[in-house]
């Protein structure tokens, strides 16, 4: 069975700091990759997704992620975080052709103003 | 546009009682998912429907849990009897076949 690992469980940053959240998965075939965000008290919503093509994906609110196939990774980045980015971030992976995503445990990000 | 609609938003019940959570997916979506979120276990897939048919229910914890999707616009997740360890936020999500999930606001269940 596939698994998704998010190594950073809690991240605390100051505003304007750069962000990188790690995501690794265990599946050898074609994959679809997602990052979701859950703001406090809200539901999950899509930040960005990768199905094919350019491995550098740009999402909403200045976030981007890079798919590195050789490393089975899909790390999320943002060059300068804001207080409003405080949220829980989830990486999700589904095998190509299957639309059942497996979610990582999530990373809690706190941004201090 | 209406998103995924879940009810109730909050439910507090006593151990042993039956709990029914409801979900209305986005119109036109053909896949529906029920997830459970807890601090200890994160986001767990309970069951997945495609075209109203249960495809994967391997995540349903035990026989106390059941889910139905009688038509394309409605699904229920039932827990009978409920136990304190069922306390969690239950999310319903829907999607088209390309795999991007749209989540509801969640139902926060507390079993005393």
In this predicted model, what pLDDT tens digit does every residue of A33-72 receive, in sequence order?
Answer: 999 999 998 889 999 999 989 999 999 999 999 999 999 9
Nearest to B16 by CA among B80, B61, B77: B80
Pairing of strands A87-95, A102-103: antiparallel
Q: Examine the pLDDT at B17 and tell me if it is beyond 70.
A: yes
Given CB atoms, is B95 within the 8 Å cutoff of chain A? Answer: yes
Asked if B103's CB is within 8 angstroms of A43's CB, the reply is yes
Q: Which chain B positions have a beta carbon within 8 Å of A103's beta carbon? A: 35, 42-43, 45
Residue B106 is encoded by which pair of tokens?
A: 């969640």
d(C-alpha A28, C-alpha A108), whole Å: 28
Strands (E), B1-112: 5-7, 10-13, 19-24, 31-38, 42-50, 53-56, 65-71, 74-79, 88-95, 102-103, 107-111
Tell me how far the alpha carbon of residue A43 is from its chain's centroid: 16
Nearest to A44 by CA among B100, B48, B88: B100
Given CB atoms, is A104 within the 8 Å cutoff of chain B? Answer: yes
Residues 6 or more apart in contact with residue A70 via CB below 8 angstroms: none
In this predicted model, what pLDDT tens digit does every residue of A86-109 receive, in sequence order?
Answer: 999 999 999 877 778 899 999 999
Asked if A34's CB is within 8 angstroms of B100's CB, the reply is yes
């Amino acid at each position: 069975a596939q698994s998704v690992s998010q190594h950073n469980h809690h991240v605390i940053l100051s505003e304007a700091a750069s962000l990188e959240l790690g995501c690794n998965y265990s599946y050898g075939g074609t994959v679809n990759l997602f990052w979701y965000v859950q703001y406090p008290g809200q539901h999950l919503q899509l930040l960005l997704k990768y199905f094919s093509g350019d491995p550098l994906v740009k999402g909403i609110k200045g976030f981007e992620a890079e798919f590195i196939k050789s490393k089975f990774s899909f790390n999320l980045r943002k060059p300068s975080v804001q207080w409003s980015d405080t949220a829980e971030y989830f990486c999700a992976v589904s095998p190509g052709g299957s639309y059942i995503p497996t979610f990582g445990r999530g990373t809690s990000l706190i941004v201090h103003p | 546009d209406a998103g995924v609609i879940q009810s109730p938003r909050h439910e507090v019940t006593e151990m042993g009682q039956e709990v029914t959570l409801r979900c209305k997916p986005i119109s036109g979506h053909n896949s529906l998912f029920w997830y459970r979120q807890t601090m200890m276990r994160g986001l767990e897939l309970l069951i997945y429907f495609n075209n109203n048919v249960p495809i994967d229910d391997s995540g349903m914890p035990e026989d106390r849990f059941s889910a139905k999707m009688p038509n394309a616009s409605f699904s229920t997740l039932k827990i009978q009897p409920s136990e304190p360890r069922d306390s969690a936020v239950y999310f319903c999500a829907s999607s088209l076949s390309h795999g991007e999930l749209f989540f509801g606001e969640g139902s926060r269940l507390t079993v005393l």
